[in-house]
Amino acid sequence: MTAAVQLRNLRKVYDGAPPITALDGITLDMAAGTIYGLLGPNGAGKTTAIGICTTKVRATGGAATVAGLDVAHDAVAVRRQVGVASQAITLDRSCTVAENLYYHCRYFGLAAADSRDRAATLLERFLIADRRDAMPNQLSGGLAQRVQLARAIAHRPSVLFLDEPTAGLDPQSRLALWDLVATLRGEGLTVVLTTHYMEEADRLCERVAVVDHGRILAEGTPAELKRDSGGTAVVDVALGDREAARAALDGVSGVSEVHDTERGLRILVSADGGGVPRVVSRIAEHHLTDLKVVEPSLETVFIRLTGRDLRE
């Protein structure tokens, strides 16, 4: 399989006092024709990685190629190959929805008639034809994001970069966008998306890299990542007597790690063989006030790798 995107020891340090290291040596291969997810909390470096691949950010070190083209030396050619939809709505506020698509095609050198045709096709396909004359400010978040997606693929790129495409969307819009992305991938487009929604990565992505503090903590298919973390469930408890509870957990089979949290303990336990009920029964008498169990998922993978929730 050929790699649509290759990152080699990619580094980015933003100037400032103090300088901020956004990427600390990332190496990744993203296969053509797949949906690849960069999963991590805000500030992990995901947006910077996408910025470098789409020529908006200059790398401090290392190399990145997109469709075989070096982003640092062949920026203009790379821009033909990439489509970008960012988290923020960057639609042209002075132009209508239809004009946003039309002029995007013109910027990519399409003739006026071809651009009009392409815009009309996209308006139909993305179900936004009835809002063609609306200004971007009049659109809901979900609709605006759909227009951005239509614009991103208008010039037929080979790699589509989506930066937190569903952040802030209602569940219905999120599902609609997932469907669109899956369809685009079915047509042979490579999709790279960043997200801090576990479910999004799990449902949509064929491979995932877990990123934190500018480094890759794990990489693989969602199934591999979950398997590698040993089917671990995370049990978060709030309780009155932390030390007594800790003692009670001593020697309980399946428990791999116990950490202090603000309100109690976080216990990592094998989900198989009744590990969770065993833990709960052991600590129930230690003034347990709250209980949350996270089943083995990408979320538990992340908690195990970083010791933090994605939302923290």
Partner 1 sequence: MSNRNSVVASVIGLWARDFRVLRRDWVPTTLRTIMNPLLTVFIFTYVLPRTGQRLPTAAGSINLATVLVPGLVAVAMIFTAIAAVALPLSIELGATREIEDRVLAPIPLATVPLAKVAFGAFQGALAGAVIFPIITLVPATAVHIRVASWGMLVLMLLLSSWTAAALGLFLGTAVRPQHIGLMFAVILTPIMFLGCVYYPWASLSSIRWLQVVVLANPLVYMSEGLRIALTPDVPHLSAAASAGMLAVLATLLTTAGVRGFSKRVVV
Q: With binding defined as CB under 8 A, does residue 45 bind partner 1? A: no
Under the binding rule (CB under 8 A), the answer on residue 104 touching partner 1 is yes
Partners of 271 in the beta sheet?
none
* 23 and 173 Cβ atoms separated by less than 8 Å: no
Could you say which of 8, 106, 246, 287 contacts partner 1 (CB under 8 A)?
Answer: 106
Sequence-ordered list of residues with C-beta below 8 angstroms from that of 149, at least 6 positions apart, any chain: 85, 126, 162, 165, 177, 180, 181
| Closest alpha carbon to 279 in 261, 305, 256 | 256
Rule CB under 8 A: is residue 80 a binding residue for partner 1?
A: yes
Which of 89-97, 193-201, 254-262, 267-275 is the region at the interface with partner 1 (rule: CB under 8 A)?
Answer: 89-97
Q: Is 127 in the site for partner 1 (CB under 8 A)?
A: no
Q: Which SS3 state, helix, strand or coil, does residue 292 take?
A: strand
33 C-beta neighbours (distance < 10 Å), count: 16
Q: Is 54 in the site for partner 1 (CB under 8 A)?
A: yes
Among candidate residues 216, 213, 192, 212, the one with its CA nearest the CA of residue 204: 192
Backbone angles phi, psi at 48, to 5 degrees: -65, -40
Q: Buried b vs exposed e over 236-266: b needs ≥16 C-beta within 10 Å? A: bbbbeebeebeebbeebebbeebeeeeebbb
Q: Which is nearer to partner 1, 77 or 129 (CB)?
A: 77
- Residue from the set 100, 145, 229, 297 that interacts with partner 1 by CB under 8 A: 100
Closest contact distance (angstroms) between CB of 15 and partner 1 is 9
Binder of partner 1 out of 1, 17, 18, 76 (CB under 8 A) = 76
Do the Cβ atoms of 264 and 237 come closer than 8 Å? yes
Binding characters for partner 1, 147-186, by CB under 8 A (x = yes) = ----x-----------------------------------
Cβ–Cβ < 8 Å for 180, 152: no
Least Å from the CB of residue 135 to partner 1:
10
Q: Judged by CB, which is closer to partner 1: 39, or 84?
A: 84
CB of 45 to partner 1, least distance (A): 14
Min CB(97)–partner 1 separation in Å = 13
Segment interacting with partner 1 (CB under 8 A) among 83-91, 181-189, 195-203, 282-290: 83-91
